[in-house]
A = this chain, B = another copy of it.
């Protein structure tokens, strides 16, 4: 493809709308353009890379035995109501009424739709297992679309859904996807960290996320320095490394006047104590009933964990009048001692002695509190997030490090949540009906594309992995007016194309500096400079984008050298 016939609107300036490197580079290299908040057009070069990612995804899904289908983006709202998920996801779903006033939604995911399909088309164990996937456009009404393709209102996802007759089979299906995902991201040139994750709105028993470590990542995670344990912050467990026994551990509780000291900061300053010594007491309404939740003073409640721990349908912080009524004190002075509410204490509080808590009276705290001795803890639960510096819950020795990541893939064991509600039943050999056991598996295809750039760039621009570069090779004629240079360039381009290589030929009549800068920005892995001076010596230059290595090669050997370099780059990624 001649550059002059392609649409590659590169930008010199960093666009104001873009905060993170990958978003800036996608705009600057002319890969995408914004139509509106969270809505992007793929320009030709962005589209080419997108198709290459899709192709890798498709090949690996097919190799794993999954069957490709295509489901509609528009869904009857009713089917979402049938599983109760309309209520869970209604804020994030775009809702539509058609001209007959029928309620439709744009699908943010497809568990309901695929399960409904399977409920009609599959009825025997002989038809199982089956794994159905699609590469399809999803829509989500994000509160804050940002970072380009990272969090968009419209994006391309690969979603797969496995149906098995038994739990062993479901486990195999899950493992097959887990392995396929590893291969997919590797082939895209992406280094991912696989972490344990929460199942969230999806339901199901367990899940893993494929994360790309990046400062711009929206997800937090911890990983152990000593063992393979790694988990999403929503999910991660940890053990406390810091002390649980404080001064006064052996004494009995004592009321201390703490006028107007309400916050952890105010109280710990007052007592000249570390915040960790405090037991923070929060009053929640769980299914409209008040409960007390205790966490160390230096930790926050992780409401995802709390939700799971209480199995509550609704969970909100109590309002001030309720707090005053159930604790007998204004806000800021609640504590577990003498409290006649169900008390859920974070497991990190186990063994807390000599602690400070609210006294359940205005302007007063208790010191010398031994939690288990002095309060009636209903249950110890895991309701705080892990932090860097905590101990590893798996190996016990290691220390957890906190990182930021971009979630590019997610695999879930769903169990029978959907197949039961939507009657995706199969008959076993005896003719008895059972719900199929499901898994679901997602890859953010457009997000993956951008995540590669977030991981592969330098100050000059993108450094594409050859497997998903818009073109494998760029031939750059230094002076387009020089007949011999143009002739040699065209010959190299033609020979490469004949060998099945996708080549971009920068034939523009621009200054070499402009063309070099654009080439670095675009980040095509292999660049061939064809110039008058080199040709006078019978050579062309081959420049590697990643290493910046510059090789001089006789014209006659150029094509073979490029082909072998392409093979090397591919082997580096796939090997």
Contact = CB atoms under 8 A, between A and B. Distances in A.
Contact of A40 (B39, B41, B72, B75): B72
A16 interface: no
A68 interface: yes
A50 B135 CA distance: 14
B154 A33 contact: no
Given A33-B121, A75-B35, A139-B74, A69 B96 contact: no
A65 B2 CA distance: 11
Interface string A92-113: 0011101100001010000001
A458 interface: no
Interface in A161-181: none
Contacts of A33: 117, 120-121
Interface in A385-417: none
Contacts of A6: 67
Contacts of A113: 35, 41
Interface string A38-52: 011111100110100
A72 B154 contact: yes
A40 B68 CA distance: 15
Given A7-B67, A70-B50, A72-B41, A99 B95 contact: no
A314 to B, nearest CB: 21
B98 A153 contact: yes
Work out how many copies of this chain go into the complex. Answer: 2
A95 B72 CA distance: 17
Contact of A41 (B71, B76, B96, B127): B71
Contact of A153 (B39, B74, B117): B74
Contacts of A39: 72, 74-75
Contacts of A72: 35-36, 39-41, 154
Interface string A140-152: 0101000000000
A553 to B, nearest CB: 30
A70 B91 contact: no
Interface residues of A, number: 52
- Most chain B CB inside 10 Å of its own CB: which residue of A68, A72, A95, A141: A72
Contacts of A432: none
A287 to B, nearest CB: 27
A304 interface: no
Contacts of A206: none
A72 to B, nearest CB: 4
A69 B40 contact: no
A535 interface: no
Contact of A67 (B44, B75, B143): B44
B67 A35 contact: no
A91 B130 CA distance: 40
Given A7-B121, A33-B120, A113-B35, A141 B70 contact: no
B69 A44 contact: yes
A121 B9 CA distance: 6
Nearest to A41: B71
Contacts of A4: 126
Contacts of A137: 73, 137
A26 to B, nearest CB: 13
A239 interface: no
Contacts of A130: 7
Nearest to A126: B4
Contacts of A153: 74, 98
A69 B95 CA distance: 27
Contacts of A122: 7
B98 A141 contact: yes
A130 B43 CA distance: 13
Contacts of A98: 94, 141, 153
A96 B94 contact: yes
A121 B45 CA distance: 14
A69 B116 CA distance: 33
A95 B96 contact: yes
Contacts of A75: 35-36, 39
A104 B39 CA distance: 11
A5 interface: yes
B5 A65 contact: yes
A42 B69 contact: yes
Contacts of A96: 94-96, 106
A154 B71 CA distance: 10
A498 B36 CA distance: 47
A132 interface: yes
A73 B154 contact: yes
Q: Which 8 A-B pairs have the closest CB atoms?
A: A42-B70, A39-B72, A44-B67, A9-B121, A36-B76, A41-B71, A94-B96, A72-B154
8 contacts: A7-B121, A9-B121, A35-B113, A40-B72, A73-B73, A74-B94, A98-B153, A99-B143
Given A4-B126, A7-B132, A36-B76, 4 more contacts: A33-B117, A33-B120, A41-B71, A98-B153
